[in-house]
Structure 1
Amino acid sequence: MSNDEYTSDGRTEEDSDREPAGLDDGSDEDGQSADRPSDSLSGVDHDLDTRSAGNGRVPSRRDDAEGSGDPSSVIDPSSPDSSVDPTEPTDAAERERSPSTRSAADIESTDIEATDVETDLQAADIDLDAETDVSESPTDDSSRGLFDDLLSGEPIFENKEVLRPSYTPRTLPHREDQINTTATILVAALRGETPSNILIYGKTGTGKTASAKYVSQELESTSRKYDVPCTVEYINCEVTDTQYRVLARLANTFIEQNEAFIDARIDTLETLAEDVREGGETLADSAFDSLSAVTERIEELEDDRESFEPAPMTGWPTDRVYSTFFEAVDYRERVVVIMLDEIDKLVEKSGDDTLYNLSRMNSGLDNSRVSIMGISNDLKFTDFLDPRVKSSLGEEEIVFPPYDANQLRDILAHRSEIAFEDDVLTEDVIPLCAAFAAQEHGDARRALDLLRTAGELTERSSADRVEGAHVRRAQEKIELDRVVEVVRTLPTQSKLVLFAIISLEDNGAHDITTGEAYNIYRRLCGEIDADVLTQRRVTDLISELDMLGIVNAVVVSKGRYGRTKEISLSVPTDKTEDVLLEDSRLSDLRETQPLVQSRFDETG
């Protein structure tokens, strides 16, 4: 590089452009020009070089130039315009051997300037220590964020997901008999035969769905092991609750499976054709007698793939959706088990047409076989089925009895080993969860929810161990959440009856009679212009609220006045009232409560 490519201060134009802030104009802190000697600036660079080499500091501009290996970036000491004294030693070791070349003032000035530069770099949030581990937690309290304190405690859970209803465990204590019975029925699928239809009954939390899913996973795993085409399709009928939706979902599922099957088959045939063309493969061991036959089969498969038309979730006639599903499931040989969870919800919403069609479709299938597995909480739901559907659907019935407290303890102990860290549960936690759940007809789901919620409450309180007090708080929270959800989904007329009872209790009434509740109910109907039901029907609604655990209704005798129900609330008044007033139709009742009179006002 020629000397005329340098600036007047001996730096290249590139160096000049990269001058650090604070050094570009030579101004001091007061804004006045400070004619710093060139050897002082060189000393600053040298001092930073030395710190960089010894302490891992961020390299200076000169480090970048010299380390880059670009000779054009190094200042030429022979340049007449260079501000660097060519007689001054440039090597660090030589500088140390020649202290006479720098005055005491220069050295002091250099140290001050180096300190200023380092301070400026620190103020600019530049990491001066290249060896610092960025993964270290911040030590400055001002840098702590919203979640730092929440993450600072010892964890309670190791794997919380095993306590959720969606988790399918590898072992299901106290359900071995039901699992084995289900497996002996479905093993026919592995022989290419049609398994009998199965109906599984049991109350909530008795292990029906978990057991059925476990058997289904084992069935599919074994089918892959022995290369037997078998698949299980799970549908929750509480969500997919109409015939159209069930058929559309099944149709689209099997269309996707068929497309994946076709794609894999085409890839195999294309590889075979390519090997034959290259002379490395023959068709002797294949089902084809010529290369053109392979090509024709590929074209047929491509046509099949193009012919599939997914069913929209709305808009088609039901017959067309059924035909689409029928053709998709029968496209190739396989055994299909359709698992309909909450099957009673489907019948309640759409009748038994879906079950009738599914249970009788085998007579028209050429390649596949279909079996139905229905799961229900309602032991009597088949009473509403057509006798033909009932006979074909209920070929095999399996009943899941409720768990007792000891069985629930075993289930919780098994799950807790996976779900929690070691030694975080006190001895009374699992027995207490089991006892609460046993009161709820042996509901294992409730027991697992209790245990999980107790752990979550422990985490939120920053406690080290889950104790019985956390379980009791979890029980209260779950019960309140359940009540809120039940109340929120009540029909409008039931909400009005419940609001009438709350209004009476708010005004000091106790042991409310059916007649008193009915009088207030009629007034509330008038406030929102709702139809008024008969007192007999309101009595039935009160009985339903009693069954849901929202009120406690006891039949008492009033002597010559006959028998009536004395009603009291079983749920928190304020929270229940707030949920009721969330209903847009009942929101106008917020101001009507002071108008309600109790029996004491009426008889006074």
Structure 2
Amino acid sequence: MTRDPIDKLLDDATSGKSLFKNREVLHFTFIPNMVLHREEEQKIVTQSLIPLLKKARPSNLLIYGKPGTGKTLVVKKVLDKIQERVKDGSFPIQLLYANAKEETTLYGLLVKFGRQLGLTSQKELPTTGLSISEVFNRLMAVIQNNGLNTVFVVDEIDYLAELVSKSGKDVFYSLTRANERLKKGSLTLIGISNDLTFKERLDPRVLSSLSEEEIVFTNYTVNQINEILTDRIKEAFVPNIVEPAALNLCSAMSGQEHGDARRAIDLLRVAGEIAEREQSDTVKEDHIRRASLKMEEDKETTALNSYPLHEKLLILAVMKANGSTTGEIYQSYKNLCKVTRQKELTQRRVTQMLSEIEMTGLISGKIIHQGMHGRTKKFALTLNPDTVKKAFKEDLSLEDLV
């Protein structure tokens, strides 16, 4: 008699039979005891923040490197170590962290820092309604009144540049000049960026203050990723679960493509989950390959679902008028607006939106020269139309269009 697969899965879960020993080790927030292959970078970040232990203000610091090169991991580990040493409170230090990519507005980013500074009530710092300058003034007041020596860590700081451009308020200038107005306490800024050209978009006055010290994190090699994964496997999985061939494939796929250790760790976790669901005794090469396909599809679906309705309509317009000019896409977009009973946006705004979506890589644009008629730009979808249809099918406003 064949055993019910549901019962087997539930029995294995309740009896503790799992391929995993500790899944958290494969989560991006996990900080290992030893950060492998980043000894020099840890040393530089630590040295730049040592003035805090000597009751002085450190220099502002900019950290560059592609995704998955250990930037955030190293900074968080150094900050944790410093925080452990200043528990006595004789020199009050407040270490704050926010990811600019997770905030849709500059206001929201500043409020996140304010909450960490202790402005927890709506009265002290409302989630909407104040000017950017007033929010900033309230943060400065807390720092000064308590004599706090603060470190603001802004992860993916290149997104903050976008928030600044949208709001027209140059908070970079205010942050880098904050110490000139503080009579007590201090503010140090640590910026972490995936974009090596990020500085080119900054005001020269800001740049001189912001980049007092800089570090570039290089990509991991295949061998380094292999060692990082081997270290995580020891803590994350039951012994002898991940086959050597699967480990090597996972390392090779991540190392050769982009040197991204975070993606390699995610890939290993998803492969483990697939293997566990299938009640496999080990994680095999095939699980790694299937995990890679699943992650790519999930990433695209998440990106598509994150767009507001009009951006979704525009992506559908590009899909339906594939390889067409901006004008033709706009006509297709207007037709979709009629079907969904939406008020259409202007062609100028739609052209801006096309450029913004193009930056994400979901669509690509190509300039076409038309001789005496000048130039035009044609757009095409870069992903499979079925992925778009699958992502938008759950949106009730779009169900008749896909």
Partner of 1:324: 138
In 2, the alpha carbon distance for the partners of 1:542 and 1:254 equals 37
Partner of 1:469: 286
Partner of 1:576: 388
2:145 counterpart SS class = coil
Partner of 1:375: 192
Cα 1:151–1:472 shift into 2, 3 Å: farther
Tell me the CA shift for residue 548 of structure 1.
5.1
Once superposed, what is the RMSD of the aligned Cα atoms?
3.7
2:242 counterpart SS class = coil
Aligned match for 2:78, one of 215, 222, 226? 215
Cα 1:198–1:520 shift into 2, 3 Å: closer
In 1, the alpha carbon distance for the partners of 2:45 and 2:232 equals 23
**TM-score, normalising length: structure 1:** 0.56
Partner of 1:596: none
1:589 counterpart SS class = coil
Partner of 2:228: 411
Tell me the CA shift for residue 152 of structure 1.
4.8
Report if the CA contact (8 A) 2:357-2:363 is conserved. Answer: no
In the alignment, structure 2 segments of 5+ residues that lack a partner are 339-343
Aligned pairs for 1:5-154 (under 5 A) are 147-148=10-11, 150-152=13-15, 154=17
Partner of 2:56: 193
Alpha-carbon displacement from aligned partner over 1:61-91 (angstroms, at most 9, x marks no partner) = xxxxxxxxxxxxxxxxxxxxxxxxxxxxxxx
Tell me the CA shift for residue 331 of structure 1.
2.7
Tell me the CA shift for residue 398 of structure 1.
1.1
Partner of 1:482: 299
Alpha-carbon displacement from aligned partner over 1:19-70 (angstroms, at most 9, x marks no partner) = xxxxxxxxxxxxxxxxxxxxxxxxxxxxxxxxxxxxxxxxxxxxxxxxxxxx
Aligned pairs for 1:479-518 (under 5 A) are 479-490=296-307, 495-496=312-313, 498-499=315-316, 502-503=319-320, 513-514=323-324
Tell me the CA shift for residue 514 of structure 1.
3.9
Report if the CA contact (8 A) 1:192-1:334 is conserved. Answer: no
The structure, 1 or 2, with the larger RCO (C-alpha pairs under 8 Å, 6+ apart) is 2
Report if the CA contact (8 A) 2:68-2:260 is conserved. Answer: yes
Cα 1:524–1:188 shift into 2, 3 Å: closer
Report if the CA contact (8 A) 1:556-1:566 is conserved. Answer: no
Report if the CA contact (8 A) 2:143-2:149 is conserved. Answer: no
Alpha-carbon displacement from aligned partner over 1:553-579 (angstroms, at most 9, x marks no partner) = 899999xxx9998967643x4332132
In 2, the alpha carbon distance for the partners of 1:564 and 1:347 equals 27
In the alignment, structure 1 segments of 5+ residues that lack a partner are 1-140, 258-308, 505-511, 591-604
1:420 lines up with 2:283 in the alignment: no
Report if the CA contact (8 A) 1:499-1:580 is conserved. Answer: no
Report if the CA contact (8 A) 1:405-1:438 is conserved. Answer: yes
Partner of 2:254: 437
1:356 lines up with 2:173 in the alignment: yes
Aligned match for 2:334, one of 525, 536, 551? 525
Tell me the CA shift for residue 385 of structure 1.
2.5
Q: Give the AA of the match of 2:223.
A: N
Cα 1:311–1:471 shift into 2, 3 Å: same
In 2, the alpha carbon distance for the partners of 1:407 and 1:519 equals 49
Cα 1:403–1:170 shift into 2, 3 Å: same
In 2, the alpha carbon distance for the partners of 1:531 and 1:316 equals 29
Q: Give the AA of the match of 1:148.
A: D
Tell me the CA shift for residue 427 of structure 1.
0.8
Tell me the CA shift for residue 163 of structure 1.
0.8
Tell me the CA shift for residue 454 of structure 1.
0.6
Q: Give the AA of the match of 1:528.
A: C
Q: Give the AA of the match of 2:392.
A: L
Alpha-carbon displacement from aligned partner over 1:303-335 (angstroms, at most 9, x marks no partner) = xxxxxx732222344444333322221234442
Tell me the CA shift for residue 397 of structure 1.
1.4
Partner of 1:347: 161
Tell me the CA shift for residue 245 of structure 1.
3.4
Q: Give the AA of the match of 1:185.
A: S
Partner of 2:125: 311
Tell me the CA shift for residue 150 of structure 1.
4.3
Aligned match for 1:239, one of 85, 89, 102? 102
Cα 1:550–1:348 shift into 2, 3 Å: closer
Q: Which has the larger radius of gyration?
A: 1
Cα 1:543–1:195 shift into 2, 3 Å: closer
**TM-score, normalising length: structure 2:** 0.81
Report if the CA contact (8 A) 1:199-1:394 is conserved. Answer: yes
Partner of 2:66: 203
Report if the CA contact (8 A) 1:154-1:464 is conserved. Answer: no
In 1, the alpha carbon distance for the partners of 2:158 and 2:282 equals 42
Tell me the CA shift for residue 403 of structure 1.
1.7
Tell me the CA shift for residue 437 of structure 1.
1.7
1:165 lines up with 2:28 in the alignment: yes
In 2, the alpha carbon distance for the partners of 1:554 and 1:323 equals 45
In 2, the alpha carbon distance for the partners of 1:565 and 1:244 equals 36
Alpha-carbon displacement from aligned partner over 1:199-229 (angstroms, at most 9, x marks no partner) = 1112211111111101111111233389543
In 2, the alpha carbon distance for the partners of 1:513 and 1:485 equals 24
In 2, the alpha carbon distance for the partners of 1:244 and 1:541 equals 26
In 2, the alpha carbon distance for the partners of 1:502 and 1:457 equals 32
Tell me the CA shift for residue 393 of structure 1.
1.0
In 2, the alpha carbon distance for the partners of 1:519 and 1:168 equals 50
Partner of 2:263: 446
Partner of 2:341: none
Alpha-carbon displacement from aligned partner over 1:359-407 (angstroms, at most 9, x marks no partner) = 2121232331221111122223333332222211111111112222222
In 1, the alpha carbon distance for the partners of 2:368 and 2:182 equals 61
In 2, the alpha carbon distance for the partners of 1:555 and 1:435 equals 36
